Amino acid sequence: MKNQFLEITDPIHDFIRLNSTEQKIIDTSVFQRLRRIKQLSGAHLTYPGAQHTRFEHSLGVMHIAGMAGTSLASKKQMPGTDIDDIRLAALLHDIGHGPFSHLFEEVLQKKKRITHEQIGKEIILKSEIGDIISKTTDKKKINRLAVGEGSKQFENEIISGALSADMMDYLLRDGYFTGAEHAKIDHNRITNSFEVYKNKLALQSSALVNFETMMISRFQMFKAVYFHKTVRAGEVMLLEAMSLADDHLGLSSMNAQEYVKQTDDTILEKLTSLPETNSELKAAKKIANDYQDRKLFKCVFEKTISGKKTFGKNTLKQFRADIAKKSKLAENQIFIDTTTTHSMPLAPSKKESSSIILIKKEGGKITPQIIPISKIPLVSTMSGKMNILRAYTQQKNRNKVEIAAKSILGEL
């Protein structure tokens, strides 16, 4: 039987083609759930157009991963038969995300050390998605590759890392839907310049400028969008509400069957409908309703922490207690947020990417060069970590907390 294809119109990639196996996967209820999980959590309260979801992002990552595979196969650097596997793994790389994406993961990790990748593994292996995959290929192979644990390192790096399809799609897509002007990436040029060197993903040296542009775009998107103080205000509220209500709602104790039924809307509905039987539930309900009505916390202090300095949970708790005492307010009126990310994308090993392999071709001669990130002038200035410390409170407490926060945190 001839393979049937479906084309989906996409604002980023024009058309995304799906084969019959991919169609069957996206038609499952488990995958369709991603339509109801926003890519950028609460960013739409700051950037109204940011209504896009994990669903279309997953399709986009699959599309770019397929482009990368086709490019490498045309150069005889990987078998063409691997392209479909790479596309499937890319399609499923976010299947384990919970409501509000990484925020829900933070709630989970407070009680059990589990990531969306681990949940994704269980979904791929034990749901109907795994049954569909098994009809055409090895679901265990796809499962490993989807979370960066495949046997071929360069295939892992196509899906996650400094040259990944994941990053190329989310930057393009997030930039488009937020209206930010920072995400300028030539993903066609980058994928067509891919090479393989010693089982690692490399880039033709002529495309170095495109890599530099992508890293700068990522850095600027974190500053302007992902770590925007008002975007984070909404996220701090969601995280606080979910944490306060966790024991009552059992958010961190759900089994896989319950987990895959949860979306942004189901969790927000649960939070805004909480019984006010104790102070924590009352506070969680108030915060959730304020979030829904866009009565966001106000940022009263902000400082970018240079170098590798980070603050542990106990330190943040102490900051909260000290500011509360100074401002003569209850601690539950003070919210300390620290947003930290590696300036360079993480490799599949979860360590910050420290180098890039460049391939130079002249007169039939191939010359590889491993370039440390620190030696790339435009990119080296961004190496290390982005770390921003902020204090938030409700509008009514703004002046008191601002004075206290500046007094206590100003000299850090």
pLDDT at position 375, please?
Answer: 79
Nearest to 222 by CA among 183, 186, 185, 190: 183
CB 148 within 8 A of CB 90: no
pLDDT at position 386, please?
Answer: 75
Distance CA 62, CA 156 (A): 13
Residues in the chain, total? 412
Average pLDDT over residues 373-390: 75
3-state secondary structure of 335: strand
CB 34 within 8 A of CB 54: yes
Q: Using 50, 70 and 90 to split pLDDT, how confident is the model at 354?
A: confident
pLDDT at position 207, please?
Answer: 95
pLDDT at position 165, please?
Answer: 97
Average pLDDT over residues 55-68: 98
Average pLDDT over residues 352-377: 84
Q: What would the pLDDT profile of 4-40 be if each residue is shown by its tens digit?
A: 789 999 999 999 999 999 999 999 999 999 999 999 9
Q: What would the pLDDT profile of 90-121 be if each residue is shown by its tens digit?
A: 999 999 999 998 899 888 887 777 888 889 99
**Listed range (37-41, 66-70, 345-349) with the worst mean pLDDT:** 345-349
340: phi then psi, degrees, rounded to nearest 5: -135, 135
pLDDT at position 347, please?
Answer: 66
pLDDT at position 67, please?
Answer: 98
Q: Kindly list the structural domains of the chain, giving each domain's residue range(s) and its CATH number in brackets, ordered by start.
A: 6-193+206-225 (1.10.3210.10), 297-343+384-412 (3.30.70)
Q: Using 50, 70 and 90 to split pLDDT, how confident is the model at 383?
A: low
pLDDT at position 381, please?
Answer: 62
Q: Please give the mean pLDDT across all residues of the chain.
A: 91
Nearest to 94 by CA among 165, 45, 153: 165
pLDDT at position 199, please?
Answer: 95
Q: What would the pLDDT profile of 272-318 be if each residue is shown by its tens digit?
A: 999 999 999 999 999 999 999 999 999 999 998 866 677 888 999 99
Is pLDDT above 80 for 355?
yes
Note every long-range contact of 275-281, with CB atoms under 8 Å and residues 24 or more positions apart, other chains counting: 275/248, 280/244, 280/245, 281/244, 281/245, 281/248
Is pLDDT above 90 for 137?
yes
pLDDT at position 379, please?
Answer: 74
Q: Using 50, 70 and 90 to split pLDDT, how confident is the model at 46?
A: very high
pLDDT at position 1, please?
Answer: 42
**Listed range (92-106, 118-132, 261-275, 374-388) with the worst mean pLDDT:** 374-388
Average pLDDT over residues 354-371: 87
| Stronger pLDDT, 171 or 373, i.e. the higher one | 171
Q: What would the pLDDT profile of 228-259 be if each residue is shown by its tens digit?
A: 999 999 999 999 999 999 999 999 888 888 99
Is pLDDT above 60 for 397?
yes
Nearest to 273 by CA among 236, 243, 308, 248: 248
Q: Using 50, 70 and 90 to split pLDDT, how confident is the model at 326?
A: very high
